[in-house]
Amino acid sequence: MQPVRRDLSFPIDKKNILDWHPAGRQVGLFMNCMSILFPVGERFFISSVRNYQDDIRDPKLREAVRAFIGQEAMHGREHEIYNAALQEAGIPAEKMEAEVKGLLDFFRKHTPRSVQLSGTVALEHFTAILANQALSDARVVGGSKDPAMSAMWRWHALEETEHKAVAFDVYRAVEGNDLRAEAIRYAGQVLASVILFSKLADMYLRALRADPETKPFGSLRGWRQLGGFLLGRSPGVFRRAFREYLDYFRPGFHPWDHDNRAFLKEIDDFVAQLDQLPKAA
C-alpha cells in the first residue's frame, strides 16, 4: 500500500462550525475537539518519523514516508482552517492547541526518539481504527448539512487508512521487534491513550462552556446523543473500535491485519466528486 499526497481543500461553512453534525451539537463539539488536536498532533507525527529518515534503507518505505509526511501536512493545513473557524465562533481553539503543543514539545525535548515514534505509532493506530469506523458507518461523519464538512472528514479517514502502517513499518525497520522494542511500543500506547483521553475530556468540557448553546455543562439530550455516538448503539464508535484497539497489544500485530483496503478503491471517485461541493459562504 503506497499512500499518495493529495493537495485538496474543503470549502467548509464557518457559520455551521458548531452545528454541523447530524447527531447533534454535542457530538459535533466532540469532533471539533478532535480537530483541534490534529494540526499539532500531526506535526509531532511528522517530526517523530523524520527523526529516522536517514536510517530507513528500503526505498519503498522511504517513498511511503514522504507521502505520509505530505498527507499529514495537508490534513494539518485543512484542520487549521477548521480550527480558525472554531476560534471565531468562540471556542478557545488557539489556547488549547498551544497547550497540546507544549505537551508534545516536552516529549520532543525530553524523551528518546524511540519513545516519540512509539507514541506516534500508537496514535496512528487510534486514528486508523476511528477512520475505519467513519468509513464503515455513514452516521459517523456523513450526512452533514455542510457537505464539505462530511467530505473533509471522509478524506481524512481515507488517507489515514491509506497510510496507517507507515509509522508502524518505520518503527519495525529501525527499532526491530525484540522484547525491548515491543515493550516501548506497548508503553507508548498506554501513555498516549491516558494523555489523549484526559486532554480530550478536558478540552470537551471547556468547549461545552464556551459554546453559548451548550454552556455550561451541555444538556441531558446532548450527553445522551454523545453517549450513543461513542458507546451506545448509534453508532457506538468507541464501543465498536475497542477490540481493534486491543489488537495493538497482540505480539506480532500489524496495522494491515485489519484489512480494510476495500474502502481505498473509492478514493479516485471521491476526489473527482469534490468539484461539486458548494462554495462556502
Query: Which residues of this protein are in contact with Fe ion, per CB under 5 A?
Result: 72, 75, 160
- Nearest CA to 191 out of 279, 106, 115, 264 is that of 115
* CB of 162 or CB of 175, closer to Fe ion: 162
- Nearest CA to 255 out of 174, 185, 161, 173 is that of 161
| Minimal distance, residue 58 CB to Fe ion, in Å | 20
Task: Say which residue the cell 499518495 belongs to.
Answer: 4
| Minimal distance, residue 25 CB to Fe ion, in Å | 25
| Minimal distance, residue 195 CB to Fe ion, in Å | 17
Residue 278 is classified by DSSP as P
- Please state, in angstroms and rounded to a whole number, the distance separating the CA atoms of residues 143 and 29: 16
* CB of 100 or CB of 208, closer to Fe ion: 100
- Nearest CA to 271 out of 125, 27, 74 is that of 74
Please state the φ and ψ torsions of residue 251, each to the nearest 5 degrees.
-60, 140
- Please state, in angstroms and rounded to a whole number, the distance separating the CA atoms of residues 261 and 200: 29
Identify the burial level of 187 via C-beta atoms within 10 angstroms of its C-beta, where 0-12 means exposed, 13-18 middle and 19 or more buried. middle
- Please state, in angstroms and rounded to a whole number, the distance separating the CA atoms of residues 54 and 245: 31
State which amino acid sits at residue 98: A
Task: Say which residue the cell 519495525 belongs to.
Answer: 172
| Minimal distance, residue 23 CB to Fe ion, in Å | 22
* CB of 146 or CB of 160, closer to Fe ion: 160
Is the Cβ–Cβ distance between 174 and 56 less than 8 Å? yes
| Minimal distance, residue 6 CB to Fe ion, in Å | 12
* CB of 75 or CB of 154, closer to Fe ion: 75
| Residue whose Cβ sits closest to Fe ion | 75
State which amino acid sits at residue 45: F
* CB of 72 or CB of 146, closer to Fe ion: 72
* CB of 72 or CB of 97, closer to Fe ion: 72
| Minimal distance, residue 229 CB to Fe ion, in Å | 21
* CB of 136 or CB of 219, closer to Fe ion: 136
| Minimal distance, residue 120 CB to Fe ion, in Å | 9
